[in-house]
Structure 1
């Protein structure tokens, strides 16, 4: 037993043992100091985004007519007008607010507030800027940058409108590409 301990002491003093670390990698050695720096594991990485936003002001004004009467309504009638203003100029978009009516792109079927069997079918039209794209999700977006988009809410075809209250809701947004 004394011989085994003496051999172990002799071997460790003659042949120094380097520490063995799981996933350790030598990354730098300094020959003058006879040292090796060991990297343990993989380096941590953290990235982040620097977002430089441009202050934007966006406003939508809706002016419903207050002189509407039930009965026959012609397709050329105007129920409400809208104006969207933005600064700085961007592509502007408008859509029916999702979930408030039965919508197919620019056309909405609005149920009466007092009787949900009363249906008013309306369409969004834009007057300021005709070259727009209509997307499947209902957004009507101008092709070019602008500061103002105006338009109206009109009946979709001639209709006999029952006396009721019809709530219309629109979304407006500025788009960049």
Structure 2
């Protein structure tokens, strides 16, 4: 079974010697040009797609809108892509030992951001490379803070774990 890459992993292209790509820096962030009206009520996030050439020849690469697909949540719903704030790679020659990076801004319901899938299909010298997939998530779903300081209440998880461990280590309680 095909396993997606984890966000941050490099993926080599066998058909283009030395060329590799990765999706990284998946994080909550506001777009630099302001929020799009179509994203009202959604949480913005950003990600980067970096193409690196470790080979001996240069490659002309394209990574434009329509070549990056972002899906969120357990059902894989499409995220809103803010094309106005995003930066793509449009016909750039990546020479040996050089990189080019696209920056994408997207928005989705906050509850869906714990599961983000990104699919990239790079165009190299007018040829389409195979699609690659990365999976990750954004930890914006922190539980709401309790009224009392964390770990102090009788019902808190920290208190329950401490009590369990104390019971396990005290002599004669087994």
Structure number with bigger Rg: 1
Give the alignment's TM-score, normalised by structure 1.
0.36
If asked which structure has higher relative contact order (CA below 8 Å, sep 6+), I would say: 1
Q: Which of the pair is proportionally richer in strand?
A: 1
